[in-house]
Amino acid sequence: MKKLEIYTDGSCNPNPGVGGWGYVILEDFCAPIEVCGGMKETTNNQMELTAAVMALQALESRAEVTIYTDSQYVRKGITSWVKGWKRNGWLTASRKPVKNQELWQALEEACSNHIITWKWVKGHNGNAGNELADKLAEQGRQKAIGGNESATKIADESSALEKCLSLIGKMNKSELRVLSSSIDKRLSK
């Protein structure tokens, strides 16, 4: 099973207002995968949740994932609060509807195929992965301001190709068959 690290972040300025989300997927021996997107009418919490949902939905196979977020709302929500909300019919302890229910349900569904450890990191505190996710979220917000609300994948393709070719050169026949099968599956999508 693959072991991955994911850094996610969301931003919104003003809040509510134009927002962006971003994530970075890190896997040994592969170039980082960096993706961002945004929306014109949203909240910071919606963007934080969207970043996590989009990152997990991007994974093509079951993985052991450590997700780093600077949002206690996301970390505590998915690891603790969601159980009570579901038990209460998606109502809070004060019997009010849970905000962002659809995103919480999407996040829960996206988590279901993976083994996930959620870790909180302090935002804007020098953590390289968090800083990159924050930069991506801001890029997504800027794209939304400009009218382009779609996700953008950012990658250093030549670096990724060099690393992959180096790894392929070290593989045995069995590993090459698995790789070939994986490539065929991706191409047939």
Least confident of 47-61, 130-144, 174-188: 174-188
> Quick check: 159 pLDDT over 90?
no
Report pLDDT for 29: 83
**pLDDT higher at 3 or 176:** 3
The band of 186, judged by pLDDT with boundaries at 50, 70 and 90, is low
Report pLDDT for 71: 98
Q: How far apart are CA 32 and CA 30, in angstroms?
A: 6
Run of H or E including 88:
none
Report pLDDT for 189: 46
> Quick check: 188 pLDDT over 60?
no
β-strand pairing of 63-69 with 2-12: parallel
Report pLDDT for 147: 73
Report pLDDT for 103: 97
Nearest to 48 by CA among 18, 92, 5, 12: 12
Catalytic machinery residues: 9-10, 48, 70, 124, 134
For residue 50, CA distances in Å to 10, 105, 137, 181 come to 8, 11, 11, 31
- With a CB cutoff of 8 Å and minimum separation 6, the contacts of 96 are none
The band of 157, judged by pLDDT with boundaries at 50, 70 and 90, is very low
Q: How far apart are CA 7 and CA 22, in angstroms?
A: 8
Report pLDDT for 30: 87
> Quick check: 151 pLDDT over 80?
no
